[in-house]
Amino acid sequence: MKNKYNDNVNDIQSQNQYIDRVRKLVKDKINRKGEPLYAYVQTFGCQQNEADSEKIMGTANMLGYEKTDEMNSADLIIFNTCAVREHAELRALSKTGELKHLKAKNPDLLVGLWGCMVSQEHRKEDIKNNIPMLILWREPICCTGFPKYYAMLW
């Protein structure tokens, strides 16, 4: 019989390993750059997205990023999206498309889409094919997965 307690402990230990790895990566980037790294999170959608965005920003802070309200100065940009309201989806996709010039100025810029829109089958191919600078997209599986997916980039 499987022991859920042991599974949870293993999951936590695994996440802590990813967190430690990402903190080191971020610290190395900060040392090379000679200044802090900034994270920008923008929400498109419902109240649940707002709560998730706060968790995403908290995770980014824990990993070594400082919060910025200026997208132009960010080293990590995440759009947290909603699939319930199509207008929110379209705004998020449009805003992501606007990032091409920022990525050209800052090749190290990390851009991500997070949230329930990403899980929509009709959007997955659009996202993969039409947003080439997007390096991270995740369904709303909980923000605890963020360090793992960030670490997988390296």
pLDDT at 33 (0 to 100): 92
pLDDT value for 3: 58
Which class for 139: exposed (0-12), middle (13-18), buried (19 or more C-beta within 10 A)?
A: middle
CATH number at 99 reads 3.40.50.280
**Residues with pLDDT less than 50, the chain:** none
What value, to the nearest 5°, has the Cα angle with vertex 55 and ends 52 and 61? 145
Q: What is residue 53's predicted lDDT score, i.e. its pLDDT?
A: 87
How many domains does the structure of the chain reveal?
1
pLDDT for the residue 74: 95
DSSP 78-123: EEEE-SS-HHHHHHHHHHHHTTHHHHHH-TT-EEEEEEGGGG-HHH
pLDDT at 4: 57
Q: Could you tell me which residues come within 8 angstroms of residue 46 by beta carbon, excluding any fewer than 6 positions away?
A: 82, 84, 85, 88
Instruction: Tell me which residue range forms the domain holding 138.
Output: 4-152
Please write the tens of the pLDDT for every residue from 28-50: 999 999 999 999 999 887 777 78
